[in-house]
Amino acid sequence: MTATAADDGLTIYERSRPGRRAFVAPGLDVPEHPLDDLVPARLRRAETPRLPEVSEPEIVRHYNRLSKRNFDLDTGFYPLGSCTMKHNPKLHERVAALDGHARLHPLQDPRRAQGALELMWRLQESLAAIAGLPHVSLQPSAGSHGELAGVLLTRAFHEDHGERRTKVLTPDTAHGTNPATVTMAGYEVVKVGTDAQGNVDLDDLRAKASDDVACLMLTNPSTLGLFEHGIEEIATIVHEAGATLYYDGANLNAIMGICRPGDMGFDIVHFNLHKSFTQPHGGGGPGAGPIAVSDRIEPYLPRPQVVRRGGADRVPGEDPVFDLDYDRPKSIGRLRGFQGNYGVFVRSYAYIRSLGAAGLRDVSEVAVLNANYLLAKLRAEGVLDHLPVAYERICMHEFVLSGAPMKRDLKIRTLDLAKRLLDHGVHPPTVYFPLLVDEALLIEPTETETKETLDRFAQILVEILREAADDPEIARTAPHTTPVRRLDEAAAARRPVVRQAL
Amino acid sequence: MTATAADDGLTIYERSRPGRRAFVAPGLDVPEHPLDDLVPARLRRAETPRLPEVSEPEIVRHYNRLSKRNFDLDTGFYPLGSCTMKHNPKLHERVAALDGHARLHPLQDPRRAQGALELMWRLQESLAAIAGLPHVSLQPSAGSHGELAGVLLTRAFHEDHGERRTKVLTPDTAHGTNPATVTMAGYEVVKVGTDAQGNVDLDDLRAKASDDVACLMLTNPSTLGLFEHGIEEIATIVHEAGATLYYDGANLNAIMGICRPGDMGFDIVHFNLHKSFTQPHGGGGPGAGPIAVSDRIEPYLPRPQVVRRGGADRVPGEDPVFDLDYDRPKSIGRLRGFQGNYGVFVRSYAYIRSLGAAGLRDVSEVAVLNANYLLAKLRAEGVLDHLPVAYERICMHEFVLSGAPMKRDLKIRTLDLAKRLLDHGVHPPTVYFPLLVDEALLIEPTETETKETLDRFAQILVEILREAADDPEIARTAPHTTPVRRLDEAAAARRPVVRQAL
Amino acid sequence: MLRTIGVASLAELFADIPDHLRLERPLDLDPGRSELEVYEELRALAGRNTSTEDELCFLGAGMYDHYVPALIDSIISRSEFLTPYTPYQPEVSQGGLQAMFEYQTAICELTGLPVSNASVYEGPSAVAAAGYVAKLAHDQPSRSRFVVSRGVHPHSRQALATLAHGWDMEVIEAPLHDGVTELPELDADVSAVIVQQPNFLGAIEDLESLAEAAHDAGALCVAACDPLPLSLLRAPGDCGVDVAVGEGQTLGNRLDFGGPSFGFFAATEALIRRVPGRIAGETVDAEGRRGFVLTLQTREQHIRREKATSNICTAQALNALAGVIYLSWLGRHGIVELTELMLQRTAYARERLTAVAGVHALHDQPVVREFALTLDAPVQAVIDRCAAQGINPGYPLGRDYPEHANGLLVAITEKRTRGHIDRLAAALGEAVAAERSRDADPAGATR
Amino acid sequence: MLRTIGVASLAELFADIPDHLRLERPLDLDPGRSELEVYEELRALAGRNTSTEDELCFLGAGMYDHYVPALIDSIISRSEFLTPYTPYQPEVSQGGLQAMFEYQTAICELTGLPVSNASVYEGPSAVAAAGYVAKLAHDQPSRSRFVVSRGVHPHSRQALATLAHGWDMEVIEAPLHDGVTELPELDADVSAVIVQQPNFLGAIEDLESLAEAAHDAGALCVAACDPLPLSLLRAPGDCGVDVAVGEGQTLGNRLDFGGPSFGFFAATEALIRRVPGRIAGETVDAEGRRGFVLTLQTREQHIRREKATSNICTAQALNALAGVIYLSWLGRHGIVELTELMLQRTAYARERLTAVAGVHALHDQPVVREFALTLDAPVQAVIDRCAAQGINPGYPLGRDYPEHANGLLVAITEKRTRGHIDRLAAALGEAVAAERSRDADPAGATR
Ligand SMILES: Cc1ncc(COP(=O)(O)O)c(C=O)c1O
Ligand SMILES: Cc1ncc(COP(=O)(O)O)c(C=O)c1O
């Protein structure tokens, strides 16, 4: 049911008609030189790029219509595990759009960008406080970029101490970016197992923590939504092997203000500002992946670093001065251009300022409360009979169910359940991750959802399971009410069409 | 088909739960007085107003969901005759939001609001040029407010000349606001007939243009979308009777830069800035209804008037100064607070600046071209067989069909056709107006629509008529795919529920 | 396309326009410009205005510098709210209609009246519209007068007078005594008594006794209200007021140099069929589901034409939407907290400013968010001195109240902190002192 | 809710956290604030930055002060684009996916290459990512060097070096001669030749001969491109370039002090299975209708983990969306008009500025929108003098190019008019003259 205009599903190129346009060029106000005098013909292209020819009203309608083919967090429940799809306060968009932030050139002289540098410095301080680690670099562009920075920092640390290590450990529950990062940083991945309670298998870890291991990358709470019982033991093992302990901060939303990675023994932490700190996800970015590190890692942080000159011992009454410090001889260097995704920093800083310490703690408490409530509710409603929880424990901000019994008994897979959820107007949880759990369903409700929403979600799962018991075909052929039906991904990959033929 | 989240259809009050909130008050930073010392208890209310208790994410989701139950111009075709539903350039929202415009207090000293006053002055000049009448007041809040201003100006004009007239003429094709205005301004309405070609019946006009007539209110092109053949004759008759000729500018979109009401003999013109000059319609406002008048009406214009001091004879090199002129002894007075809907003026001024004279003329040419093309297309497709055009003439920017034959032959009414259009994702044209035409359908495509859209609309009408020939019940029970089905308006009026019981 | 139409040129489409009426030259307008250029021009114009972001603003007098929460922009800029027109087709307009219904509910809660329309233009014209309702309600030419308090916003009084002239009705002013309305003897020729709460000088009126006096004379009582203080004050409906109207700008709308904002219009059940403008009502669809429509349309111009209760058509739907979002954002308790914060800061400001030498309270009535002062110095000169320091101290009363030639109306919102108020007190003190010494020694003074 | 869970307190939910790891005091952060207060604080911080609205900005060097049309804001602020995540569920993500497909098509058109991904982080890291693709493509440890032109953005060279260190690969610099790249002899150990178009000093490179030289040595050719000039210049793909990457900020994204923007990444068909990140592909649904999905996911970390072609996950979808909207807004002819306008104004600026005493062209190569100067005066002092007049004359080259200690890189966009350029010429002339006379007589100088 929809109040929406007809959508013919054309692409913007298919709407193109010769002669239509939106852009009007400002008039030429300088003496005109013949083109050939300015750029020799042999360097010029013969044919203009075939961009669409469309007017403003058509562009607006086109993308408005496209937008209506997207499910969005501002309209519905989006419990996509590991992604922290929580509400992004609208204030953040407003402050990020202020001219002084949005129209600031990245190469503006630091003396004329004091507000931006101070904001970054304060954000660094705040993230350091949250992580319990003293030094922060804001440069990485996303979580995985932060991971890469972290592993390269580890390399630099070891090299600086005359060591050359070749392996990095990742649990078998790890997010795919962890092993991919390891390879990309020039290390070999060694997988560590998970024990029966969903913790890192300490024996396996001990066995693999040899002196060619550079680092253990860990997510805590893990991607199973569980807090590592043996976190301190883990830290000891890793440190005794001379390796660093890396904290994948994707699940930080569970523990803000409750405990700190630095206190657990982590050397390096990345934050996903687009998860815990409300940068809107944008359909797949932008994000930002700042890192916090301990003193021993600090010398290697990327260049440049935002610093406050004068610091604590500055002349009283004199304003502090903020600057970019390039003079970092041991730095791993740059990871990207300029100073990082500043627009994201503005939003995350606004978030932290709005909540303060008490607010951030509330966030994590309610995130964990909501997850446990939903889990309990699903249990009470009998959903867990078909989709048992992977590990019977109090969960943190998310939890994993296994669809294996459902697949066996009701003949629908986790994928089918997910697709059927679409018909109920709910975004499915993360599916088939973590890999460890058969037919996994990873559910993260977040703190910004109401009890009514959680109850309704539980109800929908009940309905889908009941329906599947009657007629599994409905779920197996779902979704039925979306703009397109189930899509053939295999065909797409077999003969890839990645651009429109014009 | 929808990618949209589930919508439970609750009201914001039904989402309320005690203790939830979005707003956080800034801290109290002054010494606190007991409430009773500041406002005696007998003046205070006992119970707080029962506004909803909801959090920001819930508010956002609630109104986002509501928004998805609206059809909008930025997504689909909206040929609502008489309303000029044309594209509103996005630039206008940006410039209207600039702090210097959006956060300017209306009582700011004119010396510190020179930009705003200059903009208003320039808009006055531009509207004067378009109307062909030298003086403009921007004050009225919408078209009908402009009408009221116009009739009160007429009254003031006559009174100033020692006359007291009691009647105002309006054609039977007039928009409802015209007769309503007449009554509200303390006059009696006298209806003038329409001749066989859709023009004002000149004989009837002559017969009724007695010396107790104060004014003729005319829309030209008329609400039939037709240019008055006898416009000059009409002006002569009206003026000879000592009455004023009022131009309802709702249809100005047809003639901008092509001809001017002032040249036709009109004394007073209102503009609908939300129609011809792209203020977005907002679901029913805001708008603005400036008026342009001839020299003889000028002394009575509302107070205050935006003026340029110094004017043409100002000292060369000295900047002109803009001001509010209250010193208008013959003025009809104020119509509203402050200086009018300034935010609307910013948008309309940006529109006129973007287009210039040539662009505005293009607008009207294409508006008329599109209407005539669509009419021709409907004829070619046989639609006019069931829905004949009310008057067989070249139309201006819109045209009227009569659904009477369709009702007789296909057993569906114009209302049914309109409701069935909803299922095709098109907003229906205006229905049952003008009253003169049986089962009227008033279609205004506007200049910002493409030929493809017009062709598709024609095709949809063909399909609906073909379907009705087969099975009229489908249209009669339409719409079928909207968020709600046909609504019971009679029941609503019988036992009005105009607020939620809490 | 011309071929399909069957004409040879565009000009043929305009054949109905007499030749000599056709404009043979371009309109006298500057040539069109690119988006960038128009943006730059409009920005330059904006730059020549001193906005509330550029100075510390204590101006009020009908519109107030409140903070508009960001979620309002984000919602009302959605094309689904921004671009449709009046919901003539309710089946594809449920969003707008339900929002109107929710808005009406909120206005009813604030005013204590059972009926609200979906918006009128703005505050002062809403007062005039209320006058028209009173006229229609009595339907007796003998009820030929409005008694309007001098505490009603001058713009409202003027807007009413403009219309009343067309109705051959007279507007009589009720004076203020010590800042509040003192009604004259009311005769049987009074159609309505019109007051403002809080009044233009910031004072809280005793609505109940005013309404009683009006009713005793058979007249209606109309109150123009500032909506935020209504969260603290007795609801007009509870005081017997028949029609409560007001300016809605403070409810989530920006200042915009005076508009667009919205006016609200609430009334008693008895007046429901006299109310002007759109009203959303609840109903059911063909399948029995709840839905909303424009209702009681037989009041309106498009149905009743010359017999309509008003000529209003396009109103202020988008602004009223901002209003109901704002009220939801504040919420039941937030609105009280906000108002109490203003109340306390206003009390502080009143104390601080009246302690300044040469500055006196104009009246001592309880106030909520605005109060009137008189200065022992020329108010305009004092304002100019403050402006030079980046402070706009308030609205000079002289033009509207010659009896308070050096009166100054000072408004407080949640944006004005104690620190701001202290800065104002200092600036005002300096300015008044400077002007007084200048007065004392006019020859030697320079400005 | 606790009751349903079956615990007595919130604390029980955190029982898995060892006691002494639990923080017993609040985090060391300032207390939370109301929306208004946070807004005011962020506004104050913004006010301490000199934005391109506050001065006349000729800074470029990788990001440019272009006009972003208003329709982009209006579209990308729609929650349907702003708030979802990566389109893992294509059936409810067709909007985002189709936009990616359209974006990819536009990038292919600009670069003349058949494959584009849906975005990478930004420009310099895209160069590093291209290096990784070259490494993967050769899959031979013997190809252990990147030859990178000194005309490549210093940030790109540094980002590549940071990663190459992890790959045990060496980065060799190819010098510039008269402003353009002069390749050294290329051996069989070269993995890729990496150049920039136009290069960092604004000069147009002869991509074809560079690509040929790379291919002759069995190396790939990577070009980092400024996308707008590509509308005028020979497409990298046509010149034989294997991978074209670049910074997308200029395509409808704001400056944001350096991010978020997006990087684009285009490649030959041969490299399609090496490309990093998301790629949208066309397919059909169960009913045979066209639809779009993320495709070739076996390249990606979530499927292939340690064997993935990159670790990238969250990229820059919203910024790339702005990019394709911008390109649609410009359109096929508009993009050329825009570039030609910049070209002509740049030519004018180059003439005007090199006519200033003490200002010289750093090279004479053809340029499109940016050019390098050398000054006969300390460049930083000159910049500061211009800044005092509200003009930011450009980027000083000294830090990155010590050989051009007083080099200045000047960028032109459609926002910089002839009048602006004339103002720059005047300010630069004055500043250089002042610094030269100060140099001549350092004792007597004051600044
Ligand atoms: C556990 C975990 N680690 C790392 C990442 C990668 O973060 P990003 O997408 O910001 O690169 C994710 C993202 O989904 C994640 O869930
Ligand atoms: C012909 C005509 N006249 C007058 C009006 C009234 O204008 P407004 O709605 O701006 O008051 C309209 C509005 O629809 C109209 O179509």
For residue A281, CA distances in Å to A275, A277, A485, C332 come to: 8, 11, 25, 32
CB B494 within 8 A of CB C283: no
Q: What is the pLDDT of residues A238-278, one digit of tens each?
A: 999 999 999 999 999 999 999 999 999 999 999 999 999 99
CB A462 within 8 A of CB A408: no
The span from the CA of D42 to the CA of A234, in Å, is 41
The confidence score (pLDDT) of residue C104 equals: 98
The confidence score (pLDDT) of residue D83 equals: 98
Helices H / strands E in chain C, number of each = 13, 17
Tokens linked to C63: 């519109």
CB A328 within 8 A of CB A298: no
Question: Which residues have a Cβ under 8 Å from the Cβ of C421 and sit 6 or more positions away?
Answer: B30, C345, C348, C349, C352, C353, C412
Closest CA to B147 of B220, B240, B234, B219: B219
- Selecting from D32, D49, D335 the residue whose C-beta is nearest the C-beta of A113 gives D49
The residue nearest atom 14 of ligand 2, judged by CA position, is B83
In chain A, % helix, strand, coil (3-state, to 5) comes to 40, 10, 50
Looking at ligand 2, which atom is closest to the CA of residue B145? 11
pTM of the model: 0.97
Count, residues in chain D: 447
Name the residue type at position A267.
Answer: D
Ligand nearest to the CA of B274: 2
Torsion sign across C-alpha atoms C121, C127, C131, C137: positive
Closest CA to D348 of D267, D418, D256: D418
> DSSP labels for A204-254?
HHHHH--TTEEEEEEESS-TTS---TTHHHHHHHHHHTT-EEEEEETTGGG
* Closest residue in chain A to residue C93, using alpha carbons only: A3
* Closest residue in chain D to residue C44, using alpha carbons only: D53
- Selecting from D34, D70, D95 the residue whose C-beta is nearest the C-beta of B94 gives D70
Chain B residues with CB under 8 Å of A55 CB are: 448, 450
| A33-64: burial string, b at 16+ Cβ within 10 Å, e else | eeeeebbeeebebeebbbbbbbbbbbbbbbbb
Distance in Å, CA B69 to ligand 2 centroid = 25
Give chain C's mean pLDDT. 96
Distance in Å, CA A280 to ligand 1 centroid = 15
The confidence score (pLDDT) of residue A415 equals: 98
The mean pLDDT value for C399-416 works out to: 98
Q: Output the tens digit of pLDDT for each of chain D's 447 residues.
A: 999 999 999 999 999 999 999 999 999 999 999 999 999 999 999 999 999 999 999 999 999 999 999 999 999 999 999 999 999 999 999 999 999 999 999 999 999 999 999 999 999 999 999 999 999 999 888 999 999 999 999 999 999 999 999 999 999 999 999 999 999 999 999 999 999 999 999 999 999 999 999 999 999 999 999 999 999 999 999 999 999 999 999 999 999 999 999 999 999 999 999 999 999 999 999 999 999 999 999 888 988 899 899 999 999 999 999 999 999 999 999 999 999 999 999 999 999 999 999 999 999 999 999 999 999 999 999 999 999 999 999 999 999 999 999 999 999 999 999 999 999 999 999 999 999 998 777 654 444
Among A360-364, A408-412, D302-306, the range scoring the smallest mean pLDDT is D302-306
The span from the CA of D295 to the CA of D128, in Å, is 23
Tokens linked to A256: 């803000």
CB D162 within 8 A of CB D128: yes
Q: Is the pLDDT score of C19 beyond 70?
A: yes
The confidence score (pLDDT) of residue A318 equals: 75
Q: Is the pLDDT score of C442 beyond 70?
A: no
Q: What is the pLDDT of residues D7-53, one digit of tens each?
A: 999 999 999 999 999 999 999 999 999 999 999 999 999 999 999 99
Q: What is the pLDDT of residues C282-311, one digit of tens each?
A: 999 999 999 999 999 988 898 889 989 999
Residue B316 confidence class, pLDDT cut points 50, 70, 90: low
For residue A308, CA distances in Å to A15, A126, A136, B483, C81 come to: 53, 14, 13, 57, 46
The mean pLDDT value for B22-33 works out to: 97
The residue nearest atom 15 of ligand 2, judged by CA position, is B250
Hey, which of A80, A177, A217, A344 would you mutate to test ligand 1's pocket, going by the most ligand atoms within 8 Å of its Cβ? A177
- Selecting from D112, D311, D325 the residue whose C-beta is nearest the C-beta of A181 gives D311
The span from the CA of C263 to the CA of A299, in Å, is 62
The mean pLDDT value for B128-139 works out to: 98
Quote ipTM for the complex: 0.97
Torsion sign across C-alpha atoms D87, D92, D93, D94: positive
Distance in Å, CA A143 to ligand 1 centroid = 5
Residue located via tokens 């009046």: C86
Tokens linked to D152: 């490549």
The span from the CA of A182 to the CA of A169, in Å, is 9
Residues at CB less than 6 angstroms from ligand 1 = A 82-83, 142-144, 175, 177, 219, 223, 248, 250, 272, 287, 289; D 313-314
The DSSP bridge partners found for residue A259 are D22
Q: What is the pLDDT of residues B305-314, one digit of tens each?
A: 999 997 555 6
Q: Chain C: nearest CA to B470, how far in angstroms? A: 23
In chain C, % helix, strand, coil (3-state, to 5) comes to 45, 15, 40
CB A303 within 8 A of CB A323: no
> DSSP labels for B113-164?
BHHHHHHHHHHHHHHHHHHT-SEEE---SSHHHHHHHHHHHHHHHHHHTT--
The span from the CA of B117 to the CA of B99, in Å, is 15
The span from the CA of C103 to the CA of C233, in Å, is 20
Q: A343, D259: Cβ pair inside 8 Å?
A: yes
Torsion sign across C-alpha atoms B72, B75, B80, B82: positive
Closest CA to B303 of C171, C161, C200, C63: C161
Q: A1, B89: Cβ pair inside 8 Å?
A: no
The confidence score (pLDDT) of residue A8 equals: 87
CB A221 within 8 A of CB A227: yes
Q: Chain C: nearest CA to D39, how far in angstroms? A: 10
Chain A residues with CB under 8 Å of C35 CB are: 23-24
Distance in Å, CA A147 to ligand 1 centroid = 9
Ligand nearest to the CA of B82: 2
What percentage of chain B carries pLDDT values higher than 70? 98
What percentage of chain D carries pLDDT values higher than 90? 95
Distance in Å, CA B331 to ligand 1 centroid = 68
Q: Which three-class secondary structure string do you get for C408-445?
A: EEEECCCCCCHHHHHHHHHHHHHHHHHHHHHHHCCCCC
Residue with the bigger pLDDT between A283 and A3: it is: A283
The confidence score (pLDDT) of residue A2 equals: 58
The confidence score (pLDDT) of residue A196 equals: 96
Tokens linked to C263: 């006016």
The span from the CA of B235 to the CA of D19, in Å, is 92
Q: What is the pLDDT of residues A313-323, one digit of tens each?
A: 556 667 899 99
The confidence score (pLDDT) of residue B313 equals: 56
The confidence score (pLDDT) of residue C445 equals: 44
Residue A3 confidence class, pLDDT cut points 50, 70, 90: low
Q: A448, B5: Cβ pair inside 8 Å?
A: no
Among A311-320, A455-464, B72-81, B366-375, the range scoring the smallest mean pLDDT is A311-320
The confidence score (pLDDT) of residue B311 equals: 58
Chain D residues with CB under 8 Å of B89 CB are: 70-71
| Residue from A8, A53, A54, A61 whose CB has the most chain B CBs within 10 Å, to mutate | A61
Q: Chain D: nearest CA to B473, how far in angstroms? A: 29
